[in-house]
Amino acid sequence: MDLNTAKVILTGGTSGIGYETAKLLRAKGAQVVICGRDAITVDKVAKELDVFGIRADVANESDLENLFEFALEKMGGLNVLINNAGLGFMGSLVETSTEDFTRIWEVNTKSAFICGKLAAKHFIEQNRGNIINISSMGAVKGFANGSAYVSSKSAMTGLTMCWQAELRKYNVKVIQVNPSEVITPFADKLGYISADIKNKLKGFEIAEVIVSTLGMSDIGFIPEINIWATNP
Q: Are 57 and 111 in contact (CB under 8 A)?
A: no
Residue 149 among the catalytic residues: yes
- Residues 6+ positions from 43 with CB-CB distance below 8 Å: 53
Determine the Cα–Cα distance for residues 21 and 84; give it in Å rounded to an integer: 10
b/e sequence 1-31, b meaning 16+ C-beta within 10 Å: bebeebbbbbbbbbbbbbbbbbbbbbeeebb
Determine the Cα–Cα distance for residues 77 and 6; give it in Å rounded to an integer: 9
Counts for the chain of helices (H) and strands (E), in that order: 8, 9
Q: Considering Cα of 4, then 10, then 14, then 18, what sign does the dihedral take?
A: negative
- The residues annotated with a catalytic role in the active site are 149
